[in-house]
Amino acid sequence: MPIIAPSMLASDFANIQRDTELINESSADWFHIDIMDGVFVPNISFGIPVTEAIKKHAKKPLDVHLMIVKPENYIADFAKAGAEIISVHWEACTHIHRTLAQIKENGCKAGVVLNPGTPVHLLEEVITDCDLVLLMSVNPGFGGQKFISSTIDKVKKLKALIAEKKADTIIEIDGGVNFETGKALVDAGADALVAGSFVFSHSDPFSAIDGLKNL
Ligand code: DX5
Ligand code: ZN
């Protein structure tokens, strides 16, 4: 069964406690927290105080996705705000090995995110240091975008790299996930799926999450 991480970017910010409790009561596994700075991506979402507000009510781990430049400057803050997993973009890190170590020193699981145009082989030297790799299946910055189908092949390449290096790394996918794309991803070897608009725009978010869990 895949890990399901609903993205709080698609929740109702005026009712964030209600939507956090909805995820608590659902069969979802993690809260996916999308942090955008308006520099690394062309959109601004929310930051540390909102992450703390979600944490106050969340009964499941926070999976924090940093779409920001210089993520190393904010890792301690997000760890303190309650993140269990922190993922940084490969494209935003000059010293990815150091940044992964820093995330772990702050008591969190460490993830690397690849944009759609960034190849998997760039992770060869650090895959054994990654608790998680998040493959973007849309260009980051916005919810509700169309799934980029070449991600399916990328999942297979990542799975092969993990096997080759005998790493113990979770494969997570983010963007445009629904029942159809989710099924193809799970069949290709994805372990965790992020879903934002599909869950929160659904007339019955609980059944949307159940459906993804049972793909
Ligand atoms: C995009 C974010 C995603 C986004 C997914 O930049 O990283 O987590 O919220 O949204 P959907 O599921 O609507 O594509
Ligand atoms: Zn995300």
Question: How far is Cα 150 from Cα 130, in angstroms, rounded to an integer?
Answer: 22
- Please, are residues 2 and 172 in contact by the beta-carbon 8 Å criterion? no
- Please, are residues 135 and 122 in contact by the beta-carbon 8 Å criterion? no
H helix intervals, 33-178: 48-57, 75-80, 96-105, 151-164
pTM of the predicted structure, to 2 decimals = 0.98
Indicate if the alpha-carbon torsion angle 95, 101, 104, 106 is positive or negative. Answer: negative
The answer to whether residue 153 is catalytic is no
pLDDT of residue 215: 94
CA distances from 175 to 73, 121, 127, 150, 162 (A): 26, 21, 22, 13, 22
The amino acid at residue 145 is Q
**Residue 156 in tokens:** 């297979």
64 lines ligand 1 (CB under 6 A): no
pLDDT of residue 207: 98
In terms of residue numbers, what domain contains 157? 3-213
The CATH number assigned to the domain holding 83 equals 3.20.20.70
pLDDT of residue 137: 99
Structural domains in the chain (count):
1
Catalytic residue among 29, 34, 37, 63: 34
pLDDT (tens digit, 0 to 9) for every residue of the chain, 215 residues total?
999 999 999 999 999 999 999 999 999 999 999 999 999 999 999 999 999 999 999 999 999 999 999 999 999 999 999 999 999 999 999 999 999 999 999 999 999 999 999 999 999 999 999 999 999 999 999 999 999 999 999 999 999 999 999 999 999 999 999 999 999 999 999 999 999 999 999 999 999 999 999 99
Strands (E), the chain: 3-6, 31-36, 62-67, 83-89, 109-114, 132-136, 170-174, 192-195
pLDDT of residue 12: 98
211 lines ligand 1 (CB under 6 A): no
What is the Cα 85 distance to its own chain's centre? 9
113 lines ligand 1 (CB under 6 A): no
